[in-house]
Structure 1
């Protein structure tokens, strides 16, 4: 029985020590104004922060030709640009 109490109390001590080391021990002690700003918003058409969703396309720069292109097209472009992949081996076998 004492082993169980020791285990629970040691676990609690570790949690408190870790929270104090990383600075999250007193996060619950905030003023009502700042806690109101951090509430989750539940409105249709908005994200959890209350902002309308924005479709932002990620872009990459090709290391071979320095072109700026969409991230979804980066791998196919790089295969063609560097002469690798399935199609380039067919072109090489024709030559």
Structure 2
């Protein structure tokens, strides 16, 4: 099941956000532009994140014995960005 959350953007997200920006907006902002906005006290950057459990991992865990301590892996993808001034 997918869960979508809104989270504050951080430095570690810049590369993914720049790629999303390129795909959606043709590269309106670059890496430095997002970094500048993150550092600015006058703006807040938010990301929309979809969290999904890996379906293959679910099947593997189901096939293992019941005393297995395997954990499911979460995969996160940034699917939206926003900036508030």
TM over 0.5: no
More helix by share: 1
Which interval holds the TM-score relative to the shorter structure? Answer: under 0.3
TM-score by length of 2: 0.24
With a CA cutoff of 8 Å and minimum separation of 6, indicate the structure with the bigger relative contact order: 2
TM-score by length of 1: 0.23
More strand by share: 2
Say which one has the larger Rg: 1
